[in-house]
Amino acid sequence: MLDRALVNEAWMTMFPKGYSEILSRLHSDHCPILVCCHGSPRVKGSRPFRFQAAWATHPSYKHVISKAWNQKFGGVTERLKMVQQASLDFNSKIFENIFVQKSKLEYQIDEIQRRLKAIDVLSLIIKEVELMKDYNRLLFQEELFGYQKSREQWVKYWDRNTKFFHLQTLVRRHHNRVHGLYVRDGSWSTDLDILQEEALSFYKNLFGTTKEVEVDYLGDVPIPTLSTEACAWLIDPVSFAEVKLAVFSMSPFKAPGPYGFQAYFFK
């Protein structure tokens, strides 16, 4: 039985939300395959904050973090929220869109190179060198942006794998996207409002019910206990060296924490 639809990279780039669906057999012994190009509409709601590693390549971002972190007295949670807002402001007012900046630089470099073909001026040569330096920085930011979104771990950045990272991001989104669910009555639904209600109801039933636990359920089974030395070690103050060792042993681009910061940010 045919149960797959085969597409190439160009098709995935053109239809990033496309997906295939196997329909029921009716007048044939084969299941028809329906290919939807545009997918389901985006669920309404605000997008969660996600730290962009490309921000760290900008020379002023470290100052933005320092200013936000020291702006308000409080714990780590309050300070991370301040860094969140400062990062969003930095992204919209200073960092701007990488791809728009790239197009502008390509146009400026092309104009200077055209002028250099007609006249050899030192100021134009210096300007071209400066623009090429900015352009290479943008290429690295673009690659780092794609690498972070792709979640690909076995390929390293610095090799200009932007196209590969973009394709891996599309593939990951295809696997993670929920196009429909079997609802409580057993029917298949793709309606966004119904899907949201079903998901909310499922987790309410999963985590909202409480059951009494019988403490002596295991009877007289001996329970292992910690030694005095182990208990003392557990309540010892945590040193800076221990925290640093734990953070730097983490993979930099794994799933972000509850506030949208990956280990790369803390490193």
Q: Write down the pTM of the prediction.
A: 0.53
| Integer Cα distance of 213 and 84 in angstroms | 41
- Residue 116 pLDDT: 84
Determine which of 88-92, 106-110, 153-157, 258-262 has the lowest per-residue pLDDT on average: 153-157
Share of the chain above pLDDT 70, in %: 81
Instruction: Quote the distance between the C-alpha of residue 24 and its chain's center.
Output: 36
**Residues in contact with 26: Cβ distance below 8 Å, sequence separation at least 6, in sequence order:** none
Domain range list for the chain: 1-45, 226-253+262-267
Q: What is the mean pLDDT of residues 57-68?
A: 88
Question: Distances from the Cα of 234 to the Cαs of 5, 174, 224, in angstroms?
Answer: 55, 44, 16
Cα–Cα distance for residue pair 39/17, rounded to 1 Å? 5
Distance CA 7, CA 129 (A): 42
Degrees, nearest 5: CA angle 55-57-61: 55
The answer to whether residue 39 scores a pLDDT higher than 90 is no
177-195, pLDDT tens digit by residue? 777 788 888 888 878 888 8
pLDDT higher than 80, residue 44: no
Cα–Cα distance, 88 to 44 (Å, whole number) = 20
Among residues 265, 263, 260, which one has the least CA distance to residue 85? 260
Q: Token pair for residue 104?
A: 């502008």
Print the SS3 string covering the chain: CCCCCCCCHHHHHHCCCCEEEECCCCCCCCCCEEEECCCCCCCCCCCCCCCCHHHHHCCCHHHHHHHHHCCCCCCHHHHHHHHHHHHHHHHHHHHCCHHHHHHHHHHHHHHHHHHHHHCCCHHHHHHHHHHHHHHHHHHHHHHHHHHHHHCCCCCCCCCCCHHHHHHHHHHHHHHHCCCCEECCCCCEECCHHHHHHHHHHHHHHHHHCCCCCCCCCCCCCCCCCCCHHHHHHHCCCCCHHHHHHHHHCCCCCCCCCCCCCCHHHHC
Please choose, from the candidates 134, 133, 141, 135, the residue with its C-alpha nearest in 3D space to the C-alpha of residue 158: 141
Band of pLDDT at residue 115, cut at 50, 70 and 90:
confident
The pLDDT value recorded for residue 154 is 45
Of 167 and 35, the structure prediction assigns the larger pLDDT to 35
Closest C-alpha among 5, 67, 3, 21 to residue 190: 21
228, two tokens:
């005095």
Query: Can you tell me the mean pLDDT for 133-159?
Result: 67
